[in-house]
A and B are shown apart, each in its own frame.
Chain A
Amino acid sequence: MKTIMVHSFRRGTGKSNLVANLAVLMVQGGAKVGVIDLNFLTPSLAMLFGLDEDQIACSLNDYLWGRCRVTQLVQPVLLPAGISGKTWEVLLASASSRPSDVERMLQGRYTFEALGELLLQFSQAYALDVVLMDTPAGITPDTLATMAHAQTLVMMLHTDQQDYQGTAVVVDIANRYLNIPRQILVLNDAPLSLDVNQAMDEMRSAFNVTEAWVLPHSDELATLASADLFVLKQPLHPLTLQMQQLAQSLLD
């Protein structure tokens, strides 16, 4: 099983959106995909996949507090049938968005071991090919523990100097101290006037990574306002095609 962590130094770089869309594309590519929303403060994947808070009987918070098993935690999300008529399924483990749960989670975080147990049980119970982990922005003990488990770190950033500085710190820790085998930088919502090739070269050289991607700004994605899954709404959009390449690259 591939363990992919999607992270960023600053908030609002589009992590959850990318995780949800990558999950859909990977499932459509034939992979068995699990998604873990570790964003305990502001979980958003359930909403992106069209799940109501009431539909989640057992949240990740409940699981970590030992209230339910992994099979109760995981929600199979059926995706609308595409042209082929086949229905897809994403397996989602979502944090709770109930205010009381959020507050309690602030007091006690999950540990390296707890996450390891979750990943093990999740992958064994559902025979996952890949698990995508959506994490809160910044450098916290939680994110460091997640990084310690990740085999691939997808680091998202915006064109922002402060973001560059923080990203450099995270990438360096991932690379030199936690030995994450694969690190991918994704410059998201890039200005359309940006010279893409130059930008990728600059990212590779500044952050000392081998893989850099540029996802350009899209009015269609901005208009969608996270109300729906972009790749399902705009299957032939250039941005969808780029995400498809990224999903394929992550599975390789």
Chain B
Amino acid sequence: MAKRQTFISVRAKMLGTILLLLVLALGGTFFWFYNFVTDQVWQLIKHDAETTLSGVVDGIDGDTFEALSKEMTLRPDGYTDDPRYWEHVRFLKNAHDVEPRAFIYTYIKGDEPYQVKFIGSNGAANNPPEGAKPFDVYQEQADQTLLWEGLKQPVENETFTGGGQDTYGSWGVTVCRPIYNSKNEVVGAAGIDFQTDYVLRVQRSMLTLFYTAIAIIFLVMIVAVVWFSDRLSRPITQLTRIAELIGEGHYDQDLTALTRMKVRDEISKLAEVFDIMIDKVYAREQTLRQRVEELQIQIDESKKQHAISEIVDTDFFRDLQTKAVQLRERKRQQEQQGGAQS
């Protein structure tokens, strides 16, 4: 039994192949670009955060900070009337105003291991004040110490996507750096959080851009492929139809539209060969048609006469002939009588 064959048009094949290649190429490019841009943004943010933090730490007088953290008394609302505190937070707010992505705070070592206590935050200078209040406690996990480490040396977190999350919000980048007094002792640390939203926004806008670009490119490619494959397959379809007609014996097919294209290609060449083939097939069929046999009858007259003589020149035949003549004459008369009677 013949195997059932699947028909897939040239157009569908082209469309499938080109779109597959496009998906692979664009997907690959996007993957690389996404990673590259993300990495660049991460580096840029880290650099900005560190630059800002460096400026902030340089601007804080270690001795004053030490005195404030030790001498400050709190009001019932959790804030203080100590003018040094308000000067400190205003300074942090000024830095935040210069770099609005950065949320800046200072802290000291807490009473427990991996515990820190906040001193100032740029939000406290807002009206009403927000963010961490003086001596708010922040407890880190033993295996996830960041602010705690910042009390010893400059640190930065490596979390990018999703960022860190705590009671104060989600953070993409966090950098910390110790504050030293005039005796070069660590008296606390300053930290900066860059919000996750910003980084995510960058990623999201990249994805949106990518999807839009992909959609537009796909649309354009589909239209282009359909148009091109139509241009490519139309002559083939025409040739197929013509071949069918020729199979049915209609040889008067016009292929000039296919053979006289402005730009010649394999198809116009095929059409040309096809055109020549039609003429040849037609000519061959005509020759075959003309090759019908003719009947040729040759009769040897002398032989014939001899054979006839042998038959007719006998008494039997002469007798028969007479009887036949009489019979026919009788029949003729009968018919005449019959004709006359009717």
Interface residues of A (CB under 8 A from B): 112, 116, 139, 141, 144-145, 147-149, 151, 159, 161, 164-166, 168-169, 172-173, 177-179, 181, 187, 191, 193-195, 198-199, 202-203, 206-207
Task: Verify if B265 is at the interface (C-beta below 8 Å from A).
Answer: no
Task: With A116-B327, A168-B304, A172-B308 as known contacts, state yes or no: A148 contacts B295, CB within 8 Å.
Answer: no
Which secondary structure dominates chain B's binding surface? helix
From 257 to 307 in chain B, residues with beta carbon under 8 angstroms from any chain A beta carbon are: 291-300, 303-304, 307
In the complex, chain B residues whose CB is within 8 Å of the CB of A195: 292-295
Task: Verify if B32 is at the interface (C-beta below 8 Å from A).
Answer: no
In the complex, chain A residues whose CB is within 8 Å of the CB of B327: 116, 148-149
B297 contacts A164, C-beta separation under 8 Å: yes
Which secondary structure dominates chain A's binding surface? helix
Instruction: Produce 1/0 per residue, B308-342, CB < 8 A to A.
Output: 10011000110011011101100100000000000
Assembled-state Cα–Cα distance A179/B296 (Å): 27
B296 contacts A202, C-beta separation under 8 Å: yes
In the complex, chain B residues whose CB is within 8 Å of the CB of A194: 292-295
Closest residue of chain B to A200, judged by CB?
B295
A165 contacts B311, C-beta separation under 8 Å: no
* Shortest distance from the beta carbon of B305 to any chain A beta carbon, whole Å: 9
Interface centre among A169, A191, A202 (most CB of B within 10 A): A169
Q: What are 26 sample pairs from A and B whose C-beta atoms fall under 8 A apart?
A: A112-B323, A144-B320, A145-B320, A147-B324, A148-B320, A149-B327, A161-B298, A164-B297, A164-B299, A165-B299, A165-B300, A165-B303, A166-B307, A169-B307, A177-B312, A177-B317, A178-B320, A178-B324, A179-B328, A193-B292, A194-B293, A198-B294, A202-B295, A202-B297, A203-B295, A207-B297
B294 contacts A165, C-beta separation under 8 Å: no
In the complex, chain A residues whose CB is within 8 Å of the CB of B321: 148, 177-178
In the complex, chain B residues whose CB is within 8 Å of the CB of A199: 294-295
Query: How many residues belonging to B are interface residues under a CB distance threshold of 8 Å?
Result: 26
In the complex, chain A residues whose CB is within 8 Å of the CB of B317: 144, 177
Closest residue of chain A to B318, judged by CB?
A177
In the complex, chain A residues whose CB is within 8 Å of the CB of B307: 166, 169
In the complex, chain B residues whose CB is within 8 Å of the CB of A203: 295, 297
A169 contacts B294, C-beta separation under 8 Å: no
* Shortest distance from the beta carbon of A124 to any chain B beta carbon, whole Å: 13
* Shortest distance from the beta carbon of A197 to any chain B beta carbon, whole Å: 10
Assembled-state Cα–Cα distance A41/B331 (Å): 31
In the complex, chain B residues whose CB is within 8 Å of the CB of A116: 327
A198 contacts B328, C-beta separation under 8 Å: no
B320 contacts A159, C-beta separation under 8 Å: no
B320 contacts A112, C-beta separation under 8 Å: yes
In the complex, chain A residues whose CB is within 8 Å of the CB of B316: 141, 144
Closest residue of chain A to B290, judged by CB?
A195
* Shortest distance from the beta carbon of B339 to any chain A beta carbon, whole Å: 15
Task: With A139-B311, A169-B308, A193-B292 as known contacts, state yes or no: A148 contacts B299, CB within 8 Å.
Answer: no
Assembled-state Cα–Cα distance A148/B296 (Å): 30
* Beyond A166-B307, A178-B321, 18 additional pairs, beta carbon < 8 A: A116-B327, A144-B317, A145-B320, A147-B324, A148-B324, A149-B324, A149-B327, A159-B295, A164-B299, A172-B304, A173-B311, A173-B312, A177-B317, A181-B328, A193-B291, A195-B292, A195-B293, A198-B295
In the complex, chain B residues whose CB is within 8 Å of the CB of A172: 304, 308
In the complex, chain B residues whose CB is within 8 Å of the CB of A112: 320, 323-324
Assembled-state Cα–Cα distance A181/B327 (Å): 13
* Shortest distance from the beta carbon of A96 to any chain B beta carbon, whole Å: 25
In the complex, chain A residues whose CB is within 8 Å of the CB of B304: 165, 168-169, 172
Assembled-state Cα–Cα distance A181/B332 (Å): 11
Assembled-state Cα–Cα distance A241/B316 (Å): 41
Closest residue of chain A to B288, judged by CB?
A193
Assembled-state Cα–Cα distance A193/B290 (Å): 10
* Shortest distance from the beta carbon of B78 to any chain A beta carbon, whole Å: 112
Interface centre among B296, B297, B300, B331 (most CB of A within 10 A): B297
Q: Which of B295, B298, B325 contacts A179 (CB 8 A)?
A: B325
Assembled-state Cα–Cα distance A116/B325 (Å): 14
Assembled-state Cα–Cα distance A134/B331 (Å): 22
Closest residue of chain A to B323, judged by CB?
A112
In the complex, chain A residues whose CB is within 8 Å of the CB of B297: 164, 202-203, 206-207
